């Protein structure tokens, strides 16, 4: 319970590309799918999400999608992708930053604004929550928001996060770690 007597909710914050769905890989680097036809859910994701939901976690996607600001993806396409994901997976919400680095917004990961906004909106306690991501920006945003962090390491040709709580290879492995930690409480 929080200091005001309300029950604090816990969540698993999830990056989208590389955690829930396959990224498009070019030169060993991940990119967002550009259409609904390219959006493919990764193996084990539905099972992992259902297990986390059954354990009482809110499931919240927090994703940078700068392709909208860059003009390479239409906002309507992005909305359609997220509506489809919510229709086939047990997700509570999808929060999106559509800005690019030059916009200097507080919602673009590695800044924690997207997570803290989602936490406020959904009455979530970040210290009791997790952030799962496959890039340094995801992990840094989770760390700055006060979440425990799980880095999904796909071996991309880019820097890995400097600090994280756990390194895993899939969302299913991350969910298993979270559920084991719950069992030890």
* 3 state DSSP class of 167: strand
Options 4, 15, 103, 123, the catalytic residue: 15
| Residue in 74, 182, 50, 54 with CA at minimum distance from that of residue 129 | 182
Q: From residue 153, how far is each of 23, 30, 73, 136, 184 by CA, in Å?
A: 13, 12, 26, 10, 25
CA distance 53 to 112: 23
| Annotated catalytic residue 17 | yes
Q: Can 4 be counted among the known catalytic residues? A: no
Q: Which two tokens stand for residue 177?
A: 């770690």
Given the residues 17, 92, 100, 157, the one annotated as active site: 17
Q: List the catalytic residues.
A: 15, 17
């Amino acid at each position: 319970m929080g200091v005001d007597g309300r029950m604090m909710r816990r969540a698993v914050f999830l990056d989208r590309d590389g955690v829930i769905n396959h990224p498009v890989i070019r030169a060993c680097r991940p990119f967002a799918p550009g259409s609904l036809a390219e959006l493919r859910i990764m193996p084990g994701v539905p099972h992992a999400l259902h297990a986390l939901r059954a354990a009482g976690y809110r499931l919240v996607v927090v994703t940078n999608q700068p392709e909208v600001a860059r003009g390479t993806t239409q906002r309507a396409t992005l909305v359609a992708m997220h509506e489809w994901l919510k229709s086939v997976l047990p997700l509570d919400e999808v929060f999106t930053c559509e800005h690019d680095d030059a916009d200097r917004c507080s919602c673009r990961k590695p800044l924690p604004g997207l997570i803290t906004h989602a936490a406020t909106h959904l009455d979530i306690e970040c210290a009791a929550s997790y952030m799962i991501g496959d890039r340094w920006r995801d992990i840094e945003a989770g760390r700055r928001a006060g979440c425990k962090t799980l880095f999904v390491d796909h071996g991309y040709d880019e820097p890995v996060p400097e600090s994280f709580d756990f390194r895993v290879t899939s969302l299913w492995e991350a969910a298993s770690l979270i559920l084991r930690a719950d069992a030890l409480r």
